[in-house]
Amino acid sequence: MFKKVLIANRGEIAVRIARACRELGVRAVAVYSDVDRASLHVRMADEAYGIGPAPSRESYLVIEKILGVARFADCDAIHPGYGFLAENPALARACVEAGVTFIGPSAAAMEQLGSKTAARQIARAVGTPTVPGTLDPINSVDEATEIAREIGFPVILKAVAGGGGKGMRSVASEGELASAWRDATSEAQNAFGDARVYLEKYLERPRHIEIQVLADQHGHFVYLGERECSVQRRHQKVIEEAPSPIMTAELRKAMGEAALKLARAGNYTNAGTVEFLVDAQRNFYFLEMNTRLQVEHPVTEIVTSLDLVKLQMRIAAGEPLPLCQEDIALRGHAIECRIYAEDPDNNFFPSPGKILDCGVPTGPGIRLDEGIYAGWTVPNEYDPMLGKLIAWGRDRKEALARLGRALEEYYASGIKTNVSLFRRILASRDFREGAIYTRWLDDFLSAAPTTENRDGNEDTATEQAAAIAAFLWHTSHALGASASETLAIPESKWKTEGRREQVDREP
Ligand code: MV4
């Protein structure tokens, strides 16, 4: 095992990796930008080094700075986390040259499987199903029309360089193709500097289901079941769960084996995720591969009882996988909420700032992966994710009940958070029934308030009352009051107003 690992990241994932290091008896080295000097990941590490100004282009994204620290601090490995340099083959390559182990796949595997078009070609070659459509970019509207007629409408145009839904247009009929072509190509040009698009059959209301895979350096591959990630807002995941509410043992096996075929063909090593779209008939289609540890890895950890970060480190250190496919058993149900410093009442606008106080949910079946503390200021230079709240239950129903309960215990005052969004989602009939698809949340949020009410959302007054009750609970709890006192109606107008002011700081 390594002696010292550099964590080339910040926030909750850097904290998560530091915890794995601690458990393995490995020293954890943090890096931080000027605005992260007092961040939790720095406090959790054994050593920490400044790497420059707040903008990530001048700090967390500068390979030479990261490797400079690795050399100076005599680290034997680098864990990139997710985002930043995690899927940049240049870092993996620079590590090889510097004699430092990159905790992740090889640069070559990253290039092959991390590229959408290259991965699609590999998928076709090995028989992992892909959405019907072209493999190569299309040169003209006429060519697009011809292909669309062949595969049948509706179709979807996607940017070759695509990501985050940019340069993507669905086309219902031939009459819409020309304008969709103009929109998709110009958006792709603006976003990626690459106007090329390709065409696929458009799937209506598909689910986004991904398979977690692990591969060691000795040719052993396993899949760790799936994660259902259909609840997304503007192509950002909001809630993830394992298992998927629609999964069957047969489908899991078929998708798992399809994912491993792809991983094997790309000589993949370490942890990776294979994304699929799944239609209403449970047909699945390969979408893309993520060659990193993902934000939502905890739901898989919980239902498999495995520690993915420690396994990543063991694999990178050359150890063989300590388990084979038959050893992997799934137990219960886990659901994760991504908690952001953003204002759900103001179009989810980021809400960085100083956290005055925060409440940490605990109790049966609860896990909180956070990178914050009371008194810390959420910087505005980075993604404003504060952490992830994850609930486990013996079944989905119990997991949902625990998640709802833990969300009531969660608060971060001084900033806005998106916690009220989860209360709304958990209260909706569609979500409770698992009737979700990739555009479900966007549809849900743009639906008229009457629809939302019919779906079982609490009205504002109820929600306010609940928030006040939660606040009272915290206040009295801190003072050691009894349960009956916590529900007492405030007797003084001053107290009521004071409490209301506090509550208003919460989402
Ligand atoms: C699709 C699709 C329907 N049919 N492809 C969006 C992001 C990109 N990675 C793939 N995406 C989609 N591709 C076909 N042929 C619907 C989506 C899609 C989506 C996919 C995953 C998660 C959220 C999504 C939200 C809207 C659309």
Interval 190-218: pLDDT, tens: 999 999 999 999 999 999 999 999 999 99
pLDDT-derived band at 462, boundaries 50, 70, 90: low
DSSP strand pairing (27-32 vs 47-50): parallel
Q: What is the pLDDT of residue 117?
A: 82
Whether 235 is in the pocket of ligand 1, judged by its Cβ within 6 Å, is yes
Q: Given this model, what pLDDT does residue 19 score?
A: 98
**Helix, strand and coil percent figures for the chain, each rounded to 5:** 40, 25, 35
* 505: pLDDT strictly greater than 70: no
Interval 326-344 mean pLDDT: 97
Active site residue 292: yes
CA distance 288 to 273: 9
Whole-number percent of the chain with pLDDT over 90: 85
Between 502 and 76, name the one with better pLDDT.
76
* Beta carbons of 244 and 209 less than 8 angstroms apart: yes
The reported pLDDT for the residue numbered 251 is 98
**418 ligand 1 Cβ < 6 A:** no
pTM: 0.88
Among the residue ranges 139-143, 273-277, 309-313, the one predicted with the least confidence is 139-143
d(CA 371, CA 387): 6
CB-based contacts of 357, cutoff 8 Å, min separation 6: 374, 411, 412, 413, 414
Question: Does the pLDDT of residue 470 top 50, yes or no?
Answer: yes
The one-letter amino acid at 205: R
Instruction: Kindly report the backbone phi and psi dihedral angles of residue 108, in degrees, each rounded to the nearest multiple of 5, phi listed first.
Output: -65, -45
Between CA 465 and CA 471, with CA 470 as vertex, the angle to 5 degrees is 100
Whether the CB of 275 sits within 6 Å of ligand 1: no
Buried/exposed 144-154: b ≥16 CB within 10 Å, e otherwise = bbebbeebebe
Ligand 1 pocket, mutate which of 197, 235, 290 (most atoms under 8 A from CB)? 235
Which of 356, 328, 331, 329 is CA-nearest to residue 341? 356
In ligand 1, the atom with minimum distance to the C-alpha of 288 is 9
Q: Distance between CA 222 and CA 272 in Å, rounded? A: 11
Give the active site residue among 120, 292, 338, 367. 292
The reported pLDDT for the residue numbered 483 is: 38
Decide: 348 in ligand 1 pocket, CB within 6 A.
Answer: no
DSSP structure string for 294-317: -TTHHHHHHHHT--HHHHHHHHHT
pLDDT number for residue 321: 98
Q: Which position has the token pair 């290091």?
A: 21
Ramachandran quadrant class, 82 (left: phi over 0; alpha: psi -120 to 50; beta: rest): beta
